[in-house]
Structures are given as structure tokens and as C-alpha cells.
Structure 1
Amino acid sequence: MTDDQEYDKPRQMRIPDSEWGPFEDATKAQHPTGRSPRAAVVREFIRWYLRRPGAKLPERPAAGPWSEAD
């Protein structure tokens, strides 16, 4: 299996840098391993939002520097 086959097709979303960067920090705090913890959390949220069987709302990390508003 090649790297291209291992991952799903990329999707585009418009998220301000002021949220995307801190989101990465927060997801790494909660999920320190893996290629893209942000993507994993977004996928978890989507499954929960669609009410898929067994899906749960992703757990949030404790407050941290990412919690501060700009």
C-alpha cells in the first residue's frame, strides 16, 4: 500500500490561523501521538455530529494557552 492509498482524500476547510494553530496545540496535548491529531479530532466530531453508532463527542484537553482569545 502506498502513502497515497493509506489516507483519505484531503478536504478543504477555511479556519482562521488564530484558531487552527492553537487547535493543533490542544489536540497534541490530548493526543500526543499520530500523524495528524487535528484530523483525528475533526473526524471524531463529524461521526458524533452525524449520530453514528458508538460515536462520542471528542474529549477536550484541560484549559491551556490555546484557551486564550486573541
Structure 2
Amino acid sequence: MTISEDTFLKNMGIRIRQLREKKEFSQEYLANICDIPKNQIGRIERAEINTTIKTIVKIANALEIEPKELFNFKS
């Protein structure tokens, strides 16, 4: 089974938003914990950018999950 890069980024963004909202974190709060610009969280969630692995790890750590959980979605 294959998945397009755009679909993967969109699904990952949706997953990050779901996990962030489950923790009741605002985009700004998550960005502060991760030490990244607030608009970057929004751009990741909207699949506007292809973020780095370092940022993925920062987000996972802030959400207190394993990085692989950010990729736990149906394509």
C-alpha cells in the first residue's frame, strides 16, 4: 500500500491536532514547550510544511508520547 506525501503530512497534522487538543494544549502552549514558533505548530497541523524529525521528537516529548504515536493514523 502506498500513500502520497501530501496525504501523509495531512494525516500527521490531524493526528498532532487531536493529541494536542486531548491534552487541552493551545498551539501557543505546545509551541512554547517545544521552543518553536507558534505559527509553526499551525503550519504543521495544516500540512503546509514538512517538518524535521527533531521537531517531531520535540512535539512527541511535549505531548508525553512516543514519536511513533504521531504516525498512528489510517491512510
* TM-score, normalising length: structure 1: 0.38
> Which of the pair has more CA radius of gyration?
1
TM-score (norm 2): 0.36
